[in-house]
Amino acid sequence: MMKIAVFASGTGSNFEAILESIQLKKIKNVEVVLLVSDNPNALAVTKAKNASIPVFSFQAKDYPDKLTYEQEVLEKLTNHQVDFIVLAGYMRLLGPVLLKAYDGKIINVHPSLLPAFKGKDAIGQALDYGVKVTGVTVHFVDEGMDTGPIIAQESVPVTMSMTRETLTIKIQEIEHRLLPEVIQSLANKETTI
């Protein structure tokens, strides 16, 4: 069984999609043992509580620096015997404490075809630029913002009639399928090692 922690700052629809995939047995040998959030008021936190998933939430402003709060996060991850970290809308760069402890074991989902439109509001950036194709990327995490080796990508055509709302729905639909698929393939590799 691969024990994962999901990190989320906001709505947590990807977090929910992971839980649902486990419930429906679309992904096997994976257990979500912790939700980590840098926003105690995030909807993701409520969703975790409703699903009886342990939560660690914190506010960066309560700590002197990233090193200090990441040490506390690492302690929680160790307590819950977390093997793998999934960033699902976690809007903060990871520092050396977590990157070192979970080297090669952290993935992120991003709503664009990286390396295009890194950072916040990738969907808005794509619309503003006027691209005809955008998409979703799942990648390993390094110290950069939305950088690191790409694991999976899927494209979405941007049609004339698309609004921010309809494009967001289309992209999230793909995220909610692609991220669990990648988690499953990584879990398969873990269990065959």
Q: Which is nearer to ligand GAR, 79 or 164 (CB)?
A: 164
Residue 134 touching ligand GAR (CB under 6 A): no
Residue 57 touching ligand GAR (CB under 6 A): no
CB-based closest residue to ligand GAR = 89
Residues written for the chain: 193
Is 101 exposed, middle or buried, given 0-12, 13-18 or 19+ CB atoms closer than 10 A?
A: middle
Q: How far is the CB of 73 from ligand GAR (least distance, A)?
A: 18
Give the one residue of 35, 94, 109, 126 binding ligand GAR; rule: CB under 6 A: 109
- Interface residues for ligand GAR in 173-192 (CB under 6 A)? 175
Strands 133-140 and 150-157: antiparallel
Instruction: Please count the other Cβ atoms lying within 10 Å of the Cβ belonging to residue 34.
Output: 22
Q: Return the amino acid letter for 162.
A: M
Q: What is the dihedral of CA 83, 88, 91, 95, to 10 degrees?
A: 20
Residue 21 touching ligand GAR (CB under 6 A): no
- Interface residues for ligand GAR in 114-133 (CB under 6 A)? 122
Site size for ligand GAR (CB under 6 A): 16
In the three-class reduction of DSSP (H, G, I as helix; E, B as strand; rest coil), residue 32 is classed as strand
Q: Which is nearer to ligand GAR, 129 or 191 (CB)?
A: 129
In the three-class reduction of DSSP (H, G, I as helix; E, B as strand; rest coil), residue 62 is classed as helix
Give the footprint of ligand GAR on this chain (CB under 6 A): 8, 10-14, 44, 88-89, 109-111, 122, 146, 172, 175
Q: Give the residue numbers marked as catalytic.
A: 110
